[in-house]
A = this chain, B = another copy of it.
Amino acid sequence: MLEKIRPRAEDRKRLKEAAGAILARIEGLSRERGHNFKALLVGSAARSTWLAGDHDLDIFIAVPDGSDLKDALALARLVAPVHQEKYAEHAYIHAIVDGFDVDLVPCYQVENASCLRSAVDRTPFHTQYISSRIAGLEDHVLLLKQFMKGVGVYGSELRTGGFSGYLSEILVLRYGSFLGVLEAASGWRPGETIDLEGRGAQAHNEPLVVVDPVDPYRNVAAALTLDKMFEFVAASRCYLARPELEMFFSMGEKPLTDQEIIGRMRERGSHMLLVEFKAPDVVEDVLFPQLRKAEESAHAMLDRHGFRALRSDVYRASGLAGMLFELEVAELPTVSKRVGPPAWEGEHLSRFLSAHIQKLSGPYMEGGHAVVEVRRKYTMARDLLDKEITSLALGKHIAVQIKAGYRIYYDIEILEVKDPEFRTFLAGYFKARQKLC
């Protein structure tokens, strides 16, 4: 396993040279222009904990107090003349240099990690903390990261909500080895707390609390969701019970054919409702939280109207984005029960009754409440979604796109969506299989 994931000596050499050249170039330019910027290699490349095949270089340009981040950005542009400008809390530069994906990130030089001026200022302290302690444990970090990738819990972006590289390194420091982490994780419960330096300074209510050794107020695992945490826990149990190499590799899905989709739908007998629209041009960390929010609003609305969803999911595929709802019930009877106030609240009752003169049955008393049976506004889930989607609480960018246009596919109509990325998503949706024990 390690042979597969440990970078070869020549790769290490290439990375070291490429990074060295960029760092030298930055500091040279800084001197030329009279700045006192420091160039820092951070991230897994700096800690010797990157996986073979990764070609990421995170290089920070730290400006002293009184200097402007804009000057560091201008300098970065010169270092990599062909680049993209990206934006997190501040602007940074992404470029391909000598086959490496290089991020050039301006930050402030600060005394220690508790007097940050920007979120990225903490990163150099992380690198320093890990680099000075990880020696001899690098292989364990590589195994843990690859295992987390294999079981689908690696990556702290908002789309995944999983474990960050830094978090996996802290776990190895805490438990001493790859297997040590898995054994400990097997017994985790929600609220598990890890505090390497014993200086946790604040209560957190996330499912896993890992006090940042360089910032006692921060939970390193703040972005980890309950489900990703316990997918890791349950996968750890699987591996310990029966260590299999295939756990390190995620099961890739292939796009489903028309026949396969028809087969799955027939087997399940449920109803598929898909809303598709143009994906807004934003990064995943912006897009996915908004998609999830839209999904939740629509899911709740369907539920409120009696259309129970078995499951739902969101995707982005080839410039489009969408939400998929799998319904237990897609059609409901006309008659619908409306439960009024308790009968001892005379004024409320009387208002309720006057508001429901038009009725199919009732009023009658049930459990001390007056009840009427009226005509349901939407008997088809499809119509409900179509008519009410724009009135939902959608994220800002999603709302714009949906106002501009969307399309609904119902049941077998989803065969009209031919895009292989969508059909791969659909394959994963139907299988929904995780490595749990």
A232 to chain B, nearest CB (A): 10
Q: With the chains together, A379 CA to B379 CA distance in Å?
A: 21
Tell me whether B226 and A367 are in contact (CB under 8 A).
Answer: yes
The answer to whether residues A186 and B346 also contact, given A362-B433, A365-B231 and a CB cut-off of 8 A, is: yes
A66 contacts the other chain (CB 8 A): no
A270 contacts the other chain (CB 8 A): yes
Tell me whether A328 and B349 are in contact (CB under 8 A).
Answer: no
Residues on B with beta carbons closer than 8 Å to the beta carbon of A328 = 306, 329, 332-333
Q: With the chains together, A103 CA to B398 CA distance in Å?
A: 77
Tell me whether A350 and B437 are in contact (CB under 8 A).
Answer: yes
A230 contacts the other chain (CB 8 A): yes
- A225-261 contacts to B, CB under 8 A, are 226-228, 230-231, 233-234, 237
Tell me whether A310 and B335 are in contact (CB under 8 A).
Answer: yes
Residues on B with beta carbons closer than 8 Å to the beta carbon of A366 = 227
Q: With the chains together, A189 CA to B346 CA distance in Å?
A: 10
A82 contacts the other chain (CB 8 A): no
Contact of A227 among B231, B329, B365 (CB under 8 A): B365
The answer to whether residues A368 and B226 also contact, given A190-B344, A346-B186, A360-B267 and a CB cut-off of 8 A, is: yes
Contact of A434 among B189, B363, B437 (CB under 8 A): B363
Residues on B with beta carbons closer than 8 Å to the beta carbon of A237 = 346, 350
Tell me whether B335 and A365 are in contact (CB under 8 A).
Answer: no
Tell me whether B230 and A343 are in contact (CB under 8 A).
Answer: yes
Residues on B with beta carbons closer than 8 Å to the beta carbon of A363 = 433-434, 436
Q: With the chains together, A190 CA to B367 CA distance in Å?
A: 11
Chain B, Cβ-Cβ closest to A370: B436
Residues on B with beta carbons closer than 8 Å to the beta carbon of A367 = 226-227
Tell me whether A343 and B436 are in contact (CB under 8 A).
Answer: yes
Tell me whether A344 and B188 are in contact (CB under 8 A).
Answer: yes
Contact of A329 among B332, B335, B349 (CB under 8 A): B332
Contact of A234 among B268, B343, B373 (CB under 8 A): B343
Contact with B along A299-340 (1 / 0, CB 8 A): 000000010001100000000000000001100111101000
Q: With the chains together, A328 CA to B373 CA distance in Å?
A: 12
A370 to chain B, nearest CB (A): 5
A329 to chain B, nearest CB (A): 5
A283 contacts the other chain (CB 8 A): no
Tell me whether A333 and B234 are in contact (CB under 8 A).
Answer: no
Chain B, Cβ-Cβ closest to A266: B334
Residues on B with beta carbons closer than 8 Å to the beta carbon of A358 = none
Chain B, Cβ-Cβ closest to A228: B365
A4 contacts the other chain (CB 8 A): no
The residues of A with any CB-CB pair to B shorter than 8 Å are 186-190, 207, 226-228, 230-231, 233-234, 237, 267-271, 306, 310-311, 328-329, 332-335, 337, 343-344, 346, 349-350, 353, 360-368, 370, 373, 379, 430-434, 436-437
The 13 sampled A-B contact pairs (Cβ below 8 Å) are A187-B346, A226-B367, A226-B368, A230-B365, A234-B343, A234-B370, A269-B332, A269-B335, A269-B379, A349-B437, A350-B437, A361-B431, A365-B436
